[in-house]
Chains A and B, each alone.
Chain A
């Protein structure tokens, strides 16, 4: 599903190049549950964003379903991640001015899903994540765990092949965190590929493959 060849990413500030990723070679198969670990500044998030096509590598090649994507124009990238990829962030990133219902609806709107179908899908999600009662509330009226649930629901609603999660439990307490991880596990079991970035060993234990990053290098891989 995903194949990275010699991916390097650096940021230049003035004359100094700061490397975030160095010569990353990685392959991920459909249906995997992968964790990327490493200390702060190791390049975990950068890798995640590049995988999610939100960022471009400085060099190297990226194949997504055997398709070259590292030099696609922005428009096509948007199309790709619109249909294949769902994102979950540490700080949820729900749209503050929209209700839970409307937040869930938004990705469908961008996919131009018809009104009745949209309604059905949103209702399904509300049901499946047990948040029907919250559908007319705004994000700031929810607890962190509830917000993250909505965020996961929003990532899943388009039925993506790949879910990318950036420290999804970082802002949550233990119980809320567990709930979210159970959700990911469930999704993975239903066939969705999940890739998470985390600091927590406990969260990492949900996955079957752990990639350790240090200073931009892949240092070792546990399977």
Chain B
């Protein structure tokens, strides 16, 4: 019996290549999409779960209060860990990590020198809590001594090649030497933070001036091990009291929370995250896209199978006459659809392999399928394939099996209005999904264009940014600048603490004239030089910029932006006094000499915030070079030549300001691109279905068309007749999809403080696109039907 069904299924595929092609291609594409997205989602959900004790590890986050503002951050003071295990018997162990600087560290072994960022210090308990593996070295002792360091395999390869790194000495920042005591297995990419170098905590006592018992220096991330039998929520309740007993009530440390390790990647977006985390919202969005595309492919399947019932009904009838009962017929057709999906499966796997590199670059991951190592995944794919086949097949099977043989043989079956209504509804759903995706794509790209082209209040084009990784280069700045300006293509050179578009511009307390000391305001400040404002092309609204002609400018002058003036509430800011109180010797008292127009020194996700510019050479860390358009490559080579001559110990690193800005919208851009690809795909699959449906609808109506032609209908009359139905669906689908797209995208746009808005134009464009697609898909089939010889079609009726 099974063989009989199999033969029928195979012969049917061969006999109706168009139908089979549409179904199999659609399913294969849909399944390939799904697999890709599942790979992505699975990866996102797998973060940090590889540790044996993953469900017992918690990260401590702290709540602090400064100037009345509450901030939640992941950086905690160093004595926190020891104090916690002392006071809480439930907490078994702790480990502290610290990244010594935000900047890159120059690491060298013999003549090999590279800038590295993934450098951490950690307690030796790291191996008791996390399951990082040492390939070489003893986890018990590797991090005991000061100036011991572990490196990853990758680094061992990079610096040592075939040599055994154990016991070798590496140099850091041309200063300290560390001895390698172990080689770590590479940290898997699905870890919320990764390191290439892990140095012993004991080093900190020798090397840094950080007092390890200071509750005020928050720079450490603290992880705790709490066995499953204790409730973290119960522990959290005692934290306020715990803090008060250690630091007192007036301390800025107010509260602590525990974050399960495995939820960090998708749910944690606090200050000082070690690496940018993923976002659960994107996991949902991507999953939704995958399901929608699969839905479109399944709808194709359902529609084409039911549309083809004419061809199969006679067979069903005959089988029933020959003694088949309904469940046997259902089983046969269900089996056929499952069979078809299983033909699509290997094709979809090939597609996955083919598109994985593209997809990886799209989502910036290194996903692999790994079939062999991943038997459960493979099993899941097979199971899901089966379900897809069964779900898409169940309606056609029920539908076909319900036929009464007598009605079939006596020609009494027709596509009742209810049948074609269901098909219309399904096509409508397909169309609506496609339109939704197109509209979202357009809106996302609209916003991205808006963000890229918005006037930022300064000129971001043709500005080269050279980050200064090392203080000692500062002494070379004068000569670097003078040499650079020799080149006619270099227009201006400035230096500042931050370039616009960089994240993490400092916020410090300021005391404006007329304010009480307790009411100091936290304001962003960029520390600049005389040339900054002019180099960046920032406009001055009032007063003047910094100038070397005024001897007091470096020590006693501030420039505010309009937002700062507004926040402070000054009517006429010029000449008003202001104090900068960043702590310690970072203090300055001066007057406001100018106001600049608001410019976007941060991404357009946020409103322009208050900003103070002032001169403070000690914080300079970015050289900004405005160059002439044209021979950019030549200018860049010139800049590099000078850098290499004047700062030979440091690799030449640069970026362009406009590109830095674009990077701020990376996740949105990625989303936009994913939407483009997947909406194209969904349209492709949906129009395949439409072509199939149109051809069957034309086939079914051959008699009607023949009669109409004999009665004198022209070809264009008939094309119009056949296309009318589909156009109506397309229109209706637009009406359904527009408000949906509007609602979803309005939510997404909330991420931006500055929005392009959703115009009617976008929707009209979507409508035009869908009509074109529908027309092209349907038009060809209709034309063919209209051109057919009426005598032929009537004779064979």
Chain A residues at the B interface, C-beta cutoff of 8 Å: 45, 49, 52, 54-55, 74-75, 78, 81-83, 87, 89, 93-98, 102, 105-107, 109-111, 154, 158, 166
Residue B735 at the A interface, CB < 8 A?
Answer: no
Q: Which chain B residues numbered 312 to 327 have a C-beta less than 8 Å away from chain A?
A: 314-315, 317-326
A interface footprint on B403-443 (CB within 8 Å = 1, 0 otherwise): 01110011000000000000000000000000000000000
Sorted from nearest, which 5 A-B pairs have the closest CB atoms? A82-B323, A110-B323, A97-B11, A107-B322, A55-B406
| Across-interface contacts of A54 in B (CB, < 8 A) | 320-321, 404-406
A21-B320 Cα distance, complex, nearest whole Å: 24
A75-B8 Cα distance, complex, nearest whole Å: 24
- A106 touching B326, Cβ below 8 Å: no
Known: A55-B404, A89-B409. A110 touches B326 (CB 8 A): no
- A74 touching B326, Cβ below 8 Å: yes
Residue B1 at the A interface, CB < 8 A?
Answer: yes
- The smallest C-beta distance from B327 to any residue of chain A, in angstroms, reads 9
Residue B644 at the A interface, CB < 8 A?
Answer: no
| Across-interface contacts of B323 in A (CB, < 8 A) | 78, 81-83, 107, 110-111, 158
- B325 touching A97, Cβ below 8 Å: no
Residue B4 at the A interface, CB < 8 A?
Answer: yes
Chain B, interface SS category? helix
**Residue in A closest to B327 when the chains form the complex, CB atoms:** A75
Residue B373 at the A interface, CB < 8 A?
Answer: no
Known: A55-B404, A74-B326. A97 touches B315 (CB 8 A): yes
A102-B319 Cα distance, complex, nearest whole Å: 12
- A97 touching B12, Cβ below 8 Å: yes
Chain B contact residue count (CB 8 A cutoff): 25
Chain B residues at the A interface, C-beta cutoff of 8 Å: 1, 4, 7-8, 11-12, 15, 314-315, 317-326, 328, 404-406, 409-410
- A97 touching B321, Cβ below 8 Å: no
- B15 touching A97, Cβ below 8 Å: yes
- B321 touching A87, Cβ below 8 Å: yes
Known: A54-B405, A97-B315. A109 touches B15 (CB 8 A): no
- The smallest C-beta distance from A122 to any residue of chain B, in angstroms, reads 13
Number of A-B contacts (CB under 8 A): 64
A-B pairs with beta carbons under 8 Å apart, 10 shown: A74-B326, A78-B320, A78-B323, A93-B314, A97-B7, A105-B4, A110-B322, A110-B324, A154-B322, A158-B323
A74-B322 Cα distance, complex, nearest whole Å: 14
- A102 touching B322, Cβ below 8 Å: no
**Residue in B closest to A50 when the chains form the complex, CB atoms:** B406
**Residue in B closest to A109 when the chains form the complex, CB atoms:** B1
- A49 touching B406, Cβ below 8 Å: yes
A154-B320 Cα distance, complex, nearest whole Å: 14
A6-B326 Cα distance, complex, nearest whole Å: 30
- The smallest C-beta distance from B290 to any residue of chain A, in angstroms, reads 35
A102-B4 Cα distance, complex, nearest whole Å: 8
- The smallest C-beta distance from A7 to any residue of chain B, in angstroms, reads 15
Known: A55-B404, A89-B409, A97-B12. A106 touches B325 (CB 8 A): no
**Residue in A closest to B325 when the chains form the complex, CB atoms:** A78
| Across-interface contacts of A96 in B (CB, < 8 A) | 315
- A93 touching B325, Cβ below 8 Å: no
| Across-interface contacts of B321 in A (CB, < 8 A) | 52, 54, 81, 87, 93
